[in-house]
């Protein structure tokens, strides 16, 4: 169903008010919608495209929707617990793992189904993935943190597929209820470079003190269809090497997280991947800033305003972070101009 009339395009998202999430025009179709409000809703098809609801907002007034748009008509579908929308070039998939006492097995099942679906639909290349989970820092009945149990299930599937070191930019962050929600973007093909931060140990080489199975994600993913590319920056925190820095100090953690992003998208790192020119924090858009303690929110907002463009889409969300000593985590997207 690939259209020959439209040139290759890079996937685009916007942040809107939830009430405005489903607005379309003849030129603008919806690939997928993620709402961040005061309740959760399992993925479903709505007006022919997937929608999933995450409980991340504190009150009904301050939610938003992340809307992935396409210039092409979108076909929606369902495969087991997965709801998806695809347009011939990209697919958006969302799935849900209800609260369970066995996250390793449930994660393994969900990841396996996703990989199976992507292969059968013909979009094998994942370039960005997000996970939101309730009780991320709580202990399971086996006495292991929920995040670590999730990592065990994910690692098993990826090992089986030989993909342990090939995963793209990711986010794993807390949600206020509902179990685990996972959504991703994948494509048929295109130039993809997974980028590491020279100041951080690759997550898949983290020592076992952080959990029996290392996380599988890249610090950022450069993705380009046929024209201008995007750099998807993972959820980034105050980690140097593999260690959490500045315990208890939200201001220094925030500045270090920002410094880590600046490092990943800057010329020094990108040139090592032949991806000049580099970028600065003012080039970041569709920014999500996750803050563990509500009392730190204003402080984090003030710091972020020093660095981000005033025109950028940016939201601040109260959420737990995958290590209990991390107070802030930040993700975003750089839209490159020109031919790369
Ligand atoms: O385990 C992950 O994939 C992950 C990725 C980014 C941030 C984070 O807290 C966790
Ligand atoms: C954020 C985080 O947990 C990591 O970079 O490993």
Note whether 191 and 240 are within 8 A (CB). Answer: no
pLDDT given for residue 340 in this prediction: 52
N-term to C-term CA, the chain: 26
H and E: helices and strands count for the chain: 5, 19
Token couple for 311: 């025109």
* Domains of the chain as residue ranges with CATH: 12-339 (3.30.1330.40)
The rounded mean pLDDT for the chain is 94
Interatomic CA distance for residues 224 and 315, integer angstroms = 25
Interatomic CA distance for residues 183 and 92, integer angstroms = 7
Token couple for 171: 């986010």
Q: Report CA(203)–ligand 1 centroid distance (Å).
A: 8
| Mean pLDDT value across residues 77-96 | 97
If one residue of 288, 320, 326 were mutated to test the ligand 2 pocket, choosing by the most ligand atoms within 8 A of its CB, it would be 326
Q: Report CA(28)–ligand 1 centroid distance (Å).
A: 31
Confidence of residue 3 (pLDDT cuts 50, 70, 90): very low
Token couple for 62: 């301050």
Interatomic CA distance for residues 301 and 5, integer angstroms = 43
Known binding residue 123? Answer is no
Residue 178 CA, chain-centre distance (Å), reads: 18
Residue 224's nearest CA partner among 27, 6, 10, 1 is 10
| Residue with CA nearest ligand 1 atom 1 | 215
Q: Reply yes or no on whether the pLDDT at 269 is more than 70.
A: yes
- Give percent of the chain with pLDDT exceeding 90: 88
Indicate whether residue 218 lines ligand 2 (CB < 6 A).
Answer: no
Measured between alpha carbons, how far is residue 53 from residues 26, 42, 64, 179 in Å?
Answer: 25, 6, 10, 12
Output Rg (C-alpha) for the chain, integer angstroms: 19
What pTM did the predictor assign?
Answer: 0.96
ipTM value of the model?
0.96
Is 116 considered catalytic here? no
């Amino acid at each position: 169903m690939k259209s020959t009339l439209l040139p290759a395009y890079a996937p685009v998202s916007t942040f809107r008010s939830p009430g405005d999430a489903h607005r379309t025009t003849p030129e603008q179709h919806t690939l997928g919608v993620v709402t961040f409000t005061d309740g959760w809703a399992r993925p479903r098809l709505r007006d022919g495209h997937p929608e999933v609801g995450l409980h991340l907002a504190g009150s009904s007034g301050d939610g938003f929707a992340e809307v992935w748009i396409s210039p092409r008509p979108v076909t929606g579908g369902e495969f087991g617990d997965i709801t998806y929308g695809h347009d011939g070039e990209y697919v958006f998939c969302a799935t849900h793992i209800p609260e369970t006492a066995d996250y390793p097995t449930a994660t393994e099942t969900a990841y396996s189904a996703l990989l199976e679906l992507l292969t059968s639909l013909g979009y094998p290349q994942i370039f960005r993935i997000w996970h939101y989970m309730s009780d991320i820092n709580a202990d399971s009945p086996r006495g292991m943190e929920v995040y670590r149990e999730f990592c065990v299930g994910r690692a098993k599937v990826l090992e089986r597929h030989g993909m342990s070191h090939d995963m793209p930019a990711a986010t794993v962050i807390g949600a206020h209820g509902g179990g685990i929600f996972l959504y991703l973007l994948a494509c048929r093909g295109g130039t993809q470079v997974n980028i590491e931060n020279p100041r951080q140990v690759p997550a898949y080489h983290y020592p076992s003190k952080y959990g029996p199975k290392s996380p599988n994600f890249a610090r950022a993913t450069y993705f380009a269809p046929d024209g201008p590319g995007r750099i998807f920056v993972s959820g980034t925190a105050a980690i140097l090497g593999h260690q959490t820095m500045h315990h208890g100090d939200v201001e220094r953690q925030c500045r270090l997280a920002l410094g880590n992003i600046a490092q990943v998208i800057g010329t020094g790192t990108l040139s090592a991947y032949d991806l000049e020119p580099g970028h600065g924090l003012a080039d970041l858009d569709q920014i999500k800033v996750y803050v563990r303690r509500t009392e730190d929110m204003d402080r984090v907002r003030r710091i972020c305003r020093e660095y981000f463009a005033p025109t950028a889409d940016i939201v601040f969300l109260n959420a737990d972070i995958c290590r209990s000593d991390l107070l802030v985590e930040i993700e975003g997207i750089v839209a490159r101009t020109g031919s790369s």
